[in-house]
Each structure stands twice: as C-alpha cells, then as structure tokens.
C-alpha cells in the first residue's frame, strides 16, 4: 500500500484528505490534538484502512527527526524511499490586526510554524519522497490584504518556499504541487470572518473530493 504523510491531519481539510486517501494509502497522520487523531483513526479503520498516528508538534525539531527516521525505517525498502505523498496543511492562524499592531509573540509563532517548520520539514521529507513522490501545499492568497499582515506574510513565505522547491525538482523529482482550495467552513475561516453565512461554503469533504484527482495525478 502507498504511504501518505499528512501534516495537520487533526481537523479541517487535512482530516478530510486523510479520509479521502485512506482507501488507497497508509495514512501517517500528524497533528497536535490526540483526540481528533483518534477519531480519524476510527474513521479510517471503518473503511478497512490503515493509519499511524503521530501526535506531535511540527515545530519540535527532534520530534520531526524521529518521525521521518521512523518512516524511513518502516517503509524505505525494495527501491521505495518511504513516502509516496506528503500533504502539508498545518498552519498557524494569527489574529487579524493592523500591521502597526501585530503582536510580536504571535508573529514569532507564525514564522516558526508557517515558515521555519515548513522549511525544516522539506529538508527531512524530500529524501523520503525520492524521485517519484509528491508534496502538496495549499495556497491562500491573503498576502497584502488589510489586517492579514501576520498570516498573509508568513503563509506567502511558505508558498514561496514551495514554489522554489517545485522549480528545483521539476526535472529530478519529487513533484511539488500547489493548489488553491475553495472557501470552506473551517475554524481558520471562522476566525477571519466571524458571523459569515457559511451555507454557501463548500464542505471540507466535498473540497477534498474535488482536489483528490489532481493530487493523485
């Protein structure tokens, strides 16, 4: 069975993509909320799928080294590098604020999760993907919008890293894909747009189903 690492699998689109991929992939589900990961595991088992739960914080370097080494030791054999797919949905959503009032601690947390941890994971996961694996990132083009300074700047930097990686590996692999999801009724969006009418928004499972063929292509 193919393997898929999903960073940010506890909730939202990450969890929905884990559900969608479970029939064809062994899901390595990374997230900080143990209960949500256990619920995901129950859903995967209900469809006769397999999962490995990783209740970890992506900002802890030693934990990410341990995780990636464990993936290598378990699945890197018979010419397989260890991972077929990496889906990176983990993100820190900073509170909206004017650029002149961004909280320094919260901005540092945004940088640590959205940029530093992503950069470090790219270096650790790349060897596991080898030449034939694929990494998927999710754009949210809020950079430069009013009050989105902290989130927009760090999310934009994350996607810039992914774009550079995509160009660098276009001929050698792994493949790197950046997709832009449709608006969904997630906790992230609720923080940005409290009181919004959520009825017109696409459900996370519908969006996962829409994105899945492109991700697996």
pLDDT at 78 over 90: no
Whether residue 5 contacts residue 191, with contact meaning beta carbons closer than 8 Å, is answered with: no
For residue 152, what are the domain limits?
2-216
Average pLDDT over residues 83-94: 96
Element (H, E) at 30: strand 25-31
Number of domains into which the chain is organized: 1
Q: Tokens at residue 9, please?
A: 């699998």
Average pLDDT over residues 93-108: 95
Strand, coil or helix: 158 = helix
Which CATH number belongs to the domain containing residue 208 in this structure? Answer: 3.40.50.720
> Mean pLDDT, the chain, as a whole number?
96
Q: Strand 51-55 to strand 25-31: parallel, antiparallel, or no bridges (unpaired)? A: parallel
Average pLDDT over residues 192-205: 93
pLDDT category at 79 given cuts 50, 70, 90 is confident
CA–CA–CA angle 204, 3, 175 (5° rounding) = 80
| Per-residue model confidence as pLDDT tens digits over 117-167 | 999 999 999 999 999 999 999 999 888 999 999 999 999 999 999 999 999
pLDDT at 188: 87
pLDDT at 23: 96
Of the candidates 170, 58, 77, the residue with the CA atom closest to the CA atom of residue 122 = 58
Better-scored residue on pLDDT, 141 or 17: 17
Average pLDDT over residues 204-217: 97
Is the whole model's pTM more than 0.85, yes or no?
yes
């Amino acid at each position: 069975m193919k393997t898929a690492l999903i960073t940010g699998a506890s909730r939202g689109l990450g969890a929905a993509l884990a559900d969608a991929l479970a029939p064809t992939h062994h899901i390595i589900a990374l997230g900080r909320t143990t209960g949500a990961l256990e619920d995901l595991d129950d859903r995967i088992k209900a469809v006769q799928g397999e999962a490995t739960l990783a209740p970890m914080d992506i900002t802890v370097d030693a934990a990410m080294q341990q995780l990636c080494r464990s993936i290598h030791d378990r699945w890197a054999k018979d010419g397989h590098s260890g991972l077929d797919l990496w889906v990176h949905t983990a993100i820190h959503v900073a509170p909206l604020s004017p650029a002149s009032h961004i909280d320094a601690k919260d901005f540092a947390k945004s940088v640590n999760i959205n940029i530093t941890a992503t950069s470090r994971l790219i270096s650790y996961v790349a060897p596991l993907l080898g030449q034939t694996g694929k990494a998927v990132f999710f754009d949210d083009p809020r950079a430069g919008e009013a009050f989105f300074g902290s989130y927009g700047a760090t999310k934009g930097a994350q996607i810039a890293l992914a774009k550079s990686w995509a160009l660098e590996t276009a001929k050698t692999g792994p493949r790197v894909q950046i997709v832009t999801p449709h608006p969904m009724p997630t906790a992230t969006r609720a923080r940005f747009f409290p009181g919004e009418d959520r009825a017109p928004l696409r459900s996370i499972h519908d969006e996962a189903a829409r994105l899945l063929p492109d991700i697996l292509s």
